[in-house]
Structure 1
């Protein structure tokens, strides 16, 4: 009896000690990341020491819209009263809606809704400009050692870490209140590997090693200079090695070669332990698998990736548009049904097809395909054109041939204004266009959505790129997908409540139209609804359990938290921006 009593007292004492240690470490913010004012928040001396360690690359956040406000908060300092500049503010307002405005900033997110309306250039100048949802400091990383220093610093001080390249992100992963941001944007190194060989890979051929900051157009131009092409996004300033590829990566070349995640041969990664490791089929293969589509910023911070490269070839493009004049609505949607039924043959021929529908009408902008001549591409549109002729629709159609990828890519009109909308999406399977009844249900859902908002679709065929849907971590549903359907509602910069309501419209009304015809479906991580209540299933499918085990192995302390990431449901962001466990 005395022995049991002694064991009990000892166990209770150990519990008190553990609680005491945790309390002494985190003060009154138990189970939370530290924020300014907490005992563990870094002192000015701590920040200066970090800055010295990384060679002066620490940047205090100054919101880019500070010029539109008479006072603004800066990272690590008190409120300033000398920021207003009307001329600079007017210039910023003219370009605010475009990604290029934000990607050169170490802190400004492309998706405005994740700033908590903290520094809006369209508000009254007397409204203070606050950091709110923005990171407090940024490390302008240019070496792996910078990554390691940042990871060790946030662990030492129990603060939030954010990873950012361009900020081209619809899910709020590239910013975070009270965080240290690790900015990878200037890691621009590219290296040609003429003949890649690895004992764990069946691939032998040319490859390109890309730094974490390389954008799509930069990679395309580098590959072109060597007579090659690489799988990347359609927007020129999407960072390839970050959330794009780690989220799966739908590409112009997906119908020919597969998802971007399918192309990765190796990663260089800094882990939560601060180790600089390689992830490949032979080294840390579980981490290698997870990074290939299991979600960006979740398992480690990527320094570089090596991807397959392919011989350049000729391409053809096609464009189609028809405007809604108020009297031809029924005819437009009837023709869209024919178009949807033509997509399987198009993508099987290697095409990537982008369409847009809205109250103004319907457009294909563009269809782009390798190794087909324009006349062959035209033949795939003939059924749609015949139907439009039968219905008496007035439309414009054109096609062209291009000698190589880059000239074909550059022929696409630069109309992508992707910073000005909320998004949500759904993957649409082939089975929805296999008969008239299912096609009609798809057209009905699209018509309902596009009478209220903008919708786009990106059609592709990634089924032939892998031997099994489980070869990479990207959702297995990609392998039976015909297109990714994306819904967009505009951001209202002068009415914060209307802006939140516009996102709720996507979550509560518009996406359910697609969900109702795609039960047990999925979404594309990079174009998903960040409010999705069932994100673990919709984003990751049956890979989630395996991904969570890998997450716990490489990041047991959840240093790499991102919204809707694997394991993120263990955390909640409070109204003051504090990140706490649930």
Structure 2
């Protein structure tokens, strides 16, 4: 009997071990320049036929101006449209920030070193869920490196990679208004929307305006409505009014790493639902569509100011006053953005459903002792809808094509209320140079501080008032060593922000953070425990790491280029596996009172 039981235990032990090893088999990805493993042209042809001919060749956005012979017409178009974010989102090889293409191509000068860079050579222009499913199965079968992109609004280069296959979701444009929708928990919601992966926020705002509705979306018209923005949390100029974008999600439809299509909500795949609402895009699954809440569009009271302080001392006086005033302004319902350089201060604020008289008085109070800053009356205006505000003040600045890197910190409300002098001093240190640049996002506080939201958004958003961002820009011809220096300056500026945002326990918005962030697991996800929960879900739904991106959940299992398993992490995972198996064996042997 004992021998029989021992054999059964051994058999079960072997099954568990083999199943785990089979599920966690990870190899270096096959890249397009590796002819020994890259699929043959006949394989690609058959795959293309299976997806209705949606396979397309891809090139960097500036490549037409560096071809031999020169493609004059295409180059002229690229030069004319270079900073047009809509044009950039329509190019499968374009990133909104040119540096992430990493190709040395330029529309400003002819480059003899122009190459493919980080841009994949092939993309699946997916327009149906079946195209996504087929692509996932194909990538898994041939062990390819996969990247997923909708619009290219990506400050980490997460949606492009050398030698990869691009799953391009830009043309998945279906959107539906559902007058009444019942959740799996029996809740009824009015006027929810279902939007596909390629829908952009400008499209959403204009579509909903016809119904006098609004959704909580991005400040840029070309940001995707369901991609990294939403899955990373998604701050909005309307967030203090109704919460982060991730707080509005009622359901997803996704394709998992095994190619299966699934509904994800509070009842079906609830852990994955939690992870997808804040845990980062390109990590857990391909989101095909999302169901989001909407609200009756608010009227808007807005204010715009451009200030040119006459002296550094007056600038410092004003900035200290401004930071001291921020909590009161937030309490009154103001939200929006402010921009700081060494010589200028610009403010674009809005108050949803605000009172004009009250708003005017608050702005008068803010600027009344600073009439020497080149203005006499605060500019306050009323608009009937959010779309009017968006079109007037935000969409007009929707330009991209620059090279730049950024870093950020979430500043706690308590620190701004109780230590405003130190906060203002930190801002002044950062902008104390010709290249110093800071963007302040008054997009926290209010409803964002609702800690009852059961999603994976960085918990530090719930105690923040400001999201502060430092950035550095450079022209195409800038040498690599100078680009490295600029990136280091961003890191140094983030360290200054960290001194007034909670020190080592401070956090960042994972979509707009420093690509060189060291302790990113804590900074992007709030706590190690929070990250561990996300990692556990990631390992379950994507055991082979099909979805991998720069400083995303699970990327620490891979080498720096994200193409090969990290040897150190693989050893650690084996140790984690061995211990529970030993404990299971000991329990079973003890239960049957077997001595071995």
TM-score category of the 2 structures, normalised to the smaller one: 0.7 to 0.9
Gaps (5+ residues) in structure 2?
8-13, 568-596
TM-score of the pair, normalised by structure 1: 0.88
The match for 1:346 among 306, 317, 329 is 329
| Alignment match, 1:51 | 48
The match for 2:78 among 76, 80, 92 is 92
| Alignment match, 2:573 | none
1:353 deviation in Å?
Answer: 2.0
Q: Distance in 1 between matches of 2:416 and 2:99?
A: 35
Q: Note if contact 1:267-1:279 (Cα within 8 Å) is conserved in structure 2.
A: yes
Q: Note if contact 1:232-1:251 (Cα within 8 Å) is conserved in structure 2.
A: yes
| Alignment match, 2:384 | 403
Q: Distance in 1 between matches of 2:540 and 2:417?
A: 43
The match for 2:291 among 306, 309, 312 is 306
| Alignment match, 1:567 | 554
Q: Note if contact 1:165-1:213 (Cα within 8 Å) is conserved in structure 2.
A: yes
Structure 2 counterparts to residues 114-125 of structure 1, below 5 A: 114-125=100-111
Q: Note if contact 2:320-2:420 (Cα within 8 Å) is conserved in structure 1.
A: yes
Q: Distance in 1 between matches of 2:429 and 2:472?
A: 14
CA RMSD of aligned residues (A): 2.5
| Alignment match, 1:77 | none
Q: Distance in 2 between matches of 1:224 and 1:86?
A: 40
Q: Distance in 2 between matches of 1:109 and 1:103?
A: 7
- Quickly say closer, same or farther: Cα 1:571–1:382, change in 2 above 3 A: same
Q: Note if contact 1:51-1:58 (Cα within 8 Å) is conserved in structure 2.
A: yes
Q: Note if contact 1:470-1:476 (Cα within 8 Å) is conserved in structure 2.
A: no
| Alignment match, 2:352 | 370
1:450 deviation in Å?
Answer: 1.3
| Alignment match, 1:505 | 489
- Quickly say closer, same or farther: Cα 1:527–1:469, change in 2 above 3 A: farther
- Quickly say closer, same or farther: Cα 1:465–1:362, change in 2 above 3 A: closer
- Quickly say closer, same or farther: Cα 1:117–1:505, change in 2 above 3 A: farther
Q: Distance in 1 between matches of 2:186 and 2:283?
A: 24
TM-score of the pair, normalised by structure 2: 0.86
Q: Distance in 1 between matches of 2:100 and 2:448?
A: 35
- Quickly say closer, same or farther: Cα 1:547–1:522, change in 2 above 3 A: same
**1:428 partner SS:** strand
Q: Distance in 1 between matches of 2:129 and 2:563?
A: 28
Q: Note if contact 1:68-1:89 (Cα within 8 Å) is conserved in structure 2.
A: yes
Q: Distance in 2 between matches of 1:207 and 1:462?
A: 25
Q: Note if contact 1:99-1:168 (Cα within 8 Å) is conserved in structure 2.
A: no
| Alignment match, 2:458 | 475
| Alignment match, 2:577 | none
1:484 deviation in Å?
Answer: 0.7
Q: Distance in 2 between matches of 1:152 and 1:581?
A: 24
**1:383 partner SS:** helix
Q: Distance in 2 between matches of 1:481 and 1:515?
A: 13
**1:468 partner SS:** coil
Q: Note if contact 2:228-2:280 (Cα within 8 Å) is conserved in structure 1.
A: yes
- Quickly say closer, same or farther: Cα 1:65–1:461, change in 2 above 3 A: closer
| Alignment match, 1:74 | none
1:328 aligns with 2:314: no
Gaps (5+ residues) in structure 1?
8-13, 72-81
1:579 deviation in Å?
Answer: 4.9
1:454 deviation in Å?
Answer: 1.3
Q: Note if contact 2:448-2:461 (Cα within 8 Å) is conserved in structure 1.
A: no
Q: Note if contact 1:547-1:566 (Cα within 8 Å) is conserved in structure 2.
A: yes
Q: Note if contact 2:31-2:164 (Cα within 8 Å) is conserved in structure 1.
A: no
The match for 2:93 among 107, 132, 140 is 107
Q: How many residues are paired up?
A: 541
Q: Note if contact 1:241-1:302 (Cα within 8 Å) is conserved in structure 2.
A: yes
- Quickly say closer, same or farther: Cα 1:568–1:463, change in 2 above 3 A: farther
**2:521 partner SS:** helix
Q: Deviations over 1:476-522 (max 9, x none)?
A: 01011111111111122002312232122102x21111012221111
Q: Note if contact 2:216-2:245 (Cα within 8 Å) is conserved in structure 1.
A: yes
The match for 1:144 among 126, 129, 149 is 129
Q: Distance in 2 between matches of 1:514 and 1:124?
A: 39
Q: Distance in 2 between matches of 1:245 and 1:103?
A: 17
**1:441 partner SS:** helix
The match for 1:62 among 32, 41, 59 is 59
1:487 aligns with 2:470: yes
Q: Distance in 1 between matches of 2:565 and 2:119?
A: 17
**2:320 partner SS:** helix
Farther off after superposition, 90-99 or 539-548: 90-99
| Alignment match, 1:271 | 256
- Quickly say closer, same or farther: Cα 1:506–1:98, change in 2 above 3 A: farther
**1:204 partner SS:** strand
| Alignment match, 1:221 | 206
1:196 aligns with 2:181: yes
1:418 deviation in Å?
Answer: 4.3
1:328 deviation in Å?
Answer: 1.8
Structure 2 counterparts to residues 182-581 of structure 1, below 5 A: 182-200=167-185, 202=187, 204-324=189-309, 327-364=310-347, 366-389=348-371, 392-395=372-375, 397-412=378-393, 414-420=396-402, 421-435=404-418, 438-452=419-433, 453-462=436-445, 464=447, 468=451, 471-497=454-480, 498-507=482-491, 509-518=492-501, 519=503, 520-542=505-527, 543-574=530-561, 578-581=563-566
Q: Distance in 1 between matches of 2:550 and 2:316?
A: 36
- Quickly say closer, same or farther: Cα 1:314–1:467, change in 2 above 3 A: closer
Q: Note if contact 1:492-1:499 (Cα within 8 Å) is conserved in structure 2.
A: no
